[in-house]
Each structure stands twice: as C-alpha cells, then as structure tokens.
C-alpha cells in the first residue's frame, strides 16, 4: 500500500476517535433530570417513528403492512429493538411474497 492510503486510514481513524471522544465529553455536561433529560430519553423513539413514517409515506402495501406490524409490536412489547426487528422481518417476508407472485 502507498503512503497516501496509510495517511487516509490514520486520518479516518483519528476523526472517528475524536467524534466518539467528543460525544463522551459532551454527554457529561447534559442535564440528568428535568425536561431536557426527558426529551433526550425520548429522542431515539421519535427518530425511529419519523423514519417509519417516511418509509410508509413513500412506500406501498408492503411498507404499510410492516408499519402496522411495528406499531402493534411496539404497543405490546414497549421494546424498540424488538419492534425494529419485527418490522425488518415483516418487510423482508412481504417482499419475498411479492417476488413469488
């Protein structure tokens, strides 16, 4: 490999480390209670809901079916990773069924 590749790899590693370190240092200064803390705790669910909503708006019956499944699993389990996995499996399964027809 040339020096240019090694320099690029080292630079990318350094930037990746700096981003992670910056996030860690910033997280120490975030409030631990109050409205800001509650908002930060709700953020992952809000982001997933917005991604699912955009997928459903742009999608067809497969995406709408998966969206319904995600909604029902989320209501039942209150577990974000389980809901996401159920939605991905549903999309894969329904797309597989559509391909068979």
Contact of 62 with 91, CB cutoff 8 Å: yes
Q: Is pLDDT at 74 greater than 80 in this prediction? A: yes
Best CA proximity match to 66, nearest among 37, 40, 41, 95: 95
Q: Is pLDDT at 62 greater than 80 in this prediction? A: yes
Lookup: tokens for 2: 């040339």
Best CA proximity match to 69, nearest among 82, 59, 57: 82
Predicted confidence at residue 101, as pLDDT, reads 61
Among 47-51, 63-67, 73-77, 80-84, the minimum mean pLDDT is found in: 47-51
pTM for this model (two decimals): 0.54
Query: What is the residue extent of each domain of the chain?
Result: 1-30, 34-100
């Amino acid at each position: 490999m040339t020096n240019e590749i090694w320099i690029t790899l080292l630079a990318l590693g350094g930037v990746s480390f700096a981003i992670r370190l910056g996030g860690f240092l910033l997280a120490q200064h975030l409030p631990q209670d109050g409205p800001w803390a509650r908002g930060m705790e709700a953020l992952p669910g809000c982001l997933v809901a917005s991604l699912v909503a955009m997928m459903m708006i742009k999608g067809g019956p497969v995406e709408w079916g998966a969206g319904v499944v995600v909604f029902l699993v989320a209501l039942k389990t209150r577990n974000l990773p389980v809901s996401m996995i159920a939605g991905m499996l549903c999309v894969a399964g329904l797309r597989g069924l559509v391909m068979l027809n």
